Amino acid sequence: MRLSTLSKTAAFAIAAATTTALSAPVSGQSLPMAQAAPQEQRAVSFAASVPADRGVLVLPLARADELATRAPALSEAERDAVTRALGSAAFEYGARERLSLRGIGDWAHILVIGLGEEMRGSNYETVGAVVGRALLEEANAVTIMTNGLSGDAVASLATGFGLGEYRSDLYRARENGAQRGGVTFVTDAEARAQALYDNRGRAMVAAMAWTRDISNEPGNAVYPQVFVDRARAAFAGTPGVTIDVLDENRMRELGMGAILGVGRGSERPPRMMVVRYRGSGAPAGGPIVLVGKGVTFDTGGISIKPSTNMENMRMDMSGAASVTGAVLALARSQAPVNVVAVAPLAENMPDGRAIRPGDVLTAMNGKTIQVINTDAEGRLLLADAFSWVERNLTPAAVVDLATLTGAVGRALSNDYAGLFSRHEPLAEQLQTAGETVGEPLWRLPMHESYAQDMSSTVADIRNTSTGRGAGAGTAAHFLGEFISRDIPWAHLDIANMAWSGANDWKPDGSAGFGVRLLDHFVRNFQPVEGGE
């Protein structure tokens, strides 16, 4: 992901220090590595009545008059106490609004969570995530009263609860306390909620945890081969899945000079992973192909980044993590789809062998690329990945996810991911999917003038533009030059959405952005004609 660079003196000093520090773990040697703590999630169950264990009670309410119908098992004294507390706190029942109460009846803790007036699946999921995160430190069993809500809504709440339980403090020492109690959703739509959660909810919670874990772990724990190994472990035993991996030698045979160029400065060689999943009942025709940028750590290479916040560049493989996570969710739920995840993986480091600004690389499709900035490396990985997809697959559509540019965040803040496409029907389906799951996209232009901005006097194309204009758009234009205009294609620049600080539904770090969007998109995909 391209950011501003330091002065030459500082850049050379940091590059030299980095090279020295890396000289120890060579030829298979490695430094001692701490082990990440596994995710801990409560056992989830659905019941028609309130369990005997009176630990934490959660009351999702959209209006004051819902209290009586939502929680009939409360005694009159308990309902009166909750009603008085809501009035005293001027609770407005807005979505995600919370009120925490203790010392009422036999309950150790009562949490009221607002539902708001206009609720749909993604809103219920977010509310569930807020509850899950709010109760992370509670050891007691949790009872969530959902009478009167549809089975779909209850399943969404349960899925969100699992997402909210995610922790990103993977290497922090934790006390070995008592195991947390389970969570029971009390519902009059028990069968429907149970079936939906078992079929799709559990798979999504697991896929999101995998995606966020691999994005949050440090660069010394996750590099190209480790990413592949973790993916193989996650998919092990899942019907309909095959995984192929291109190593350095195979990439060299295929002429994949772009991805090999990015990986030259690292002792950890690049890989390209291809995960195929075809479920029973999948439609005929070619697969939907999801391609994700997988820079497992990005120093910027010779065009080195500033040191401030460089540690966060472990997230520069979020696109690869999300496309792999989306296929994991689809495969574990045995969705009737034909989908392929392609993850080009490399580590971008400064070294004596690293590519330099001004170097020319040749991609797999024969196009030559003049490297202007080695920190614009993600597009190089995707160029070879696209070329491989076009040569080896007959895709119904190609969608890529990439933490590609800082420019997209300057255009859209952290409200939308950027969407670029030459194919209107495909863009519309992606936007609909984003709106449905709460991962919104904003369509940005691919103007014809970008071709001139990316022109080179020595090669077919530059890897950055000649000016300081539409950085996200010119990056999208570059990608578009490596995929046929006859193939429906869309590019999602998620650099501003993949990673953030903590909020009420997630901890610091990865948001797993794109997993739910792509899951919905693939399940509901309608064929798109090729051509612009």
Query: Residues with catalytic annotation?
Result: 305, 379
- What DSSP string describes 398-465? EEEEE--BSHHHHHHTTT-EEEEES-HHHHHHHHHHHHHHT--EEE----TTHHHHT--SSSSEESS-
CA distance 442 to 462: 26
CA distance 173 to 195: 36
| Other CB atoms within 10 A of residue 365 CB | 19
| Other CB atoms within 10 A of residue 6 CB | 18
Q: Give the bridge partners for 143, in sequence order.
A: 57, 184
Going 515 to 516 to 521 to 523, the CA torsion angle's sign is positive
180 DSSP 8-state letter: P
CA distance 397 to 229: 27
Q: Nearest 5 degrees, angle CA 463-CA 464-CA 467?
A: 155
Going 19 to 23 to 27 to 31, the CA torsion angle's sign is negative
Helices (H), 217-317: 224-235, 248-254, 257-263
- What DSSP string describes 359-390? -EEE-TTS-EEE-S-TT--HHHHHHHHHHHHH
CA distance 223 to 216: 12
CA distance 220 to 344: 18
